[in-house]
Amino acid sequence: GWKDAINTTIINFNNEKMQITWAARELFHRENVSFSYTFDEGKHKVWKPCPTYLLDQDYNTGCLFKTEGPTLAISIRNSNGSEELFSKKLKSDFYIKPNRPENVTFLWKDDTVTVTCNKPERAVKCLQLELQYKSTFDKGWQSRTSRCCSVGDQGFDPRKCYSFRVRLKRLVPHCNVVNYSSDWEAETYWMNGTLIDSCDADDITSQSNTVTVLSCSLAVLLMMLILLILLCKWQRLQMSVMPAVPDPKYIFVDLLNDHNGNFQEWLDKTDHVLLQTKLEYEEPDCITEAESQQEDEKNSDKQRPLEKIFPFSGTAENSDLKAAQIACLIPASNTIASFAGFHILMNDDMYVML
């Protein structure tokens, strides 16, 4: 009866691979046992040796092989296979351990979260999706389970950070004789419906500080842009209302650059330039009426008088104005100007204004 007392662990990984282990050191501490298996039924069974042994200090403690059917028979024998030490027949479908859920998604709406995953290809009716979560203020996990492949809960506080993890479970005893679940999917962290890196206080503070710094930087840049625009507008307004006064220092640029600060040398040169300019642009002197008459009398024998003075009425007859009359010779090519109180006399090639 001791053969039936041997404790074995049987796991069917998603109905793809079988793993059977036993306590070799406690049960078979003096010899290394062998393992064989078969998926055939009836009298004509074909036993297959273990393709891959699991070892513990050079002792065979288990076997890993491919799942080939729903019915499995195993046999553990001594090292040379002459004596059977343990045998068992079982349904491989009752020992299935599912794989992790694939393509897990979180849907947030207000204070409610719904978690979904892809449906497995086999035995969907035997699976449940389990969701566990906890906030930074919770000591343990809270669990919610639903049929594959959607589960959800409500009452989540947007001010708290939550940790989530999900896995698939096999129904017991309808589908499994052992309560097997898949490994947990990678843990994720959420806050106010947003995926974050961690729920550690330092990380949350760091993320908050980052958001604060970015917000302040944007605010400062915006204020600088507004100030720059206002400054440009103020300069335009100032130029239109109060035109810029020329800087006197630019008048003395040649004093410093050309004369090395020698004021007397600069003054002499400046006076010379101004005098020369004055001479070049000096207008001809006016000839008085008396001088004109004397010149005409001297040249009366040589020249015929070409001009005749016509009397004009009005203010021109006043003695005070006559005393102040002068005549200016203006070239004929210039424009004739007429002023009140003056008389225009025309000669051959010049005009006389009285």
Q: What tokens appear for 60 in the block? A: 């065979």
Domain end residue (candidates: 97, 123, 146): 97
For residue 281, tell me if it sits in a domain.
no
Judged by DSSP in three states, 97 sits in strand
The answer to whether residue 278 scores a pLDDT higher than 60 is no
Q: What average pLDDT does range 150-167 have in this prediction?
A: 93
Q: Provide the pLDDT for residue 296.
A: 57
In the predicted structure, residue 288 carries a pLDDT above the cut 70? no
The range of the structural domain enclosing residue 28 comes to 8-97
| Counted domains in the chain | 2
Same domain, 72 and 22: yes
> Could you tell me if residue 217 is inside a domain?
no
Question: Whole-angstrom Cα distance, residue 92 to residue 39?
Answer: 9
Cα separation, 238 vs 243, whole angstroms: 7
Q: Determine, yes or no, domain membership for 329.
A: no
The per-residue pLDDT of the chain, averaged, comes to 76
Report cis status (omega within 30 of 0) of the bond before 149.
Answer: yes
Q: Do 119 and 150 have their domain in common?
A: yes
Domain match, 24 and 82 both: yes
Give the per-residue pLDDT at 240.
Answer: 72
> Is the per-residue pLDDT at 114 higher than 90?
yes
Amino acid making up residue 161: C
Do 83 and 41 fall into the same domain? yes
Indicate if 46 and 83 belong to the same structural domain.
yes
Residue 133 has pLDDT above 80, yes or no: yes
Residue 275 — φ and ψ, nearest 5°? Answer: -65, -40
Alpha helices in the chain (DSSP H): 24-27, 201-241, 253-257, 263-280, 289-298, 319-323
Which of the 8 DSSP states describes residue 331?
E
Distance of alpha carbon 116 from the chain centroid: 32
Taking the C-alpha atoms of residue 102 and residue 119, their distance in angstroms, rounded to an integer, is 8
Q: Give the span between the Cα atoms of 237 and 243, in whole angstroms.
A: 10
In-domain check, residue 245: no
Alpha carbon distance 192, 158 (integer Å): 4
What digits encode the pLDDT tens for the residues 30-45? Answer: 778 899 999 988 778 8
Residues 132 and 172 in one domain: yes
Q: CATH no. for residue 149? A: 2.60.40.10
Final residue of a structural domain among 199, 221, 241: 199
pTM (two decimals): 0.55
Q: Are 199 and 163 in contact (CB under 8 A)?
A: yes
**What contacts 309, CB < 8 A, 6 or more positions away?**
343, 345, 354
Q: Which of 62, 97, 132 is the last residue of a domain?
A: 97
Q: Are residues 76 and 148 in the same domain?
A: no
pLDDT score of 330: 42
77-94 pLDDT per residue, tens? 888 888 888 889 999 999
Percent of all residues in the chain with a pLDDT value above 70, rounded to a whole number: 64
**pLDDT above 90 (res 49):** yes
- 122 and 50 inside one domain: no
First to last CA, the chain: 160
- Main-chain phi, psi angles of 88, to 5 degrees: -160, 145
Tokens describing residue 18: 């079988």
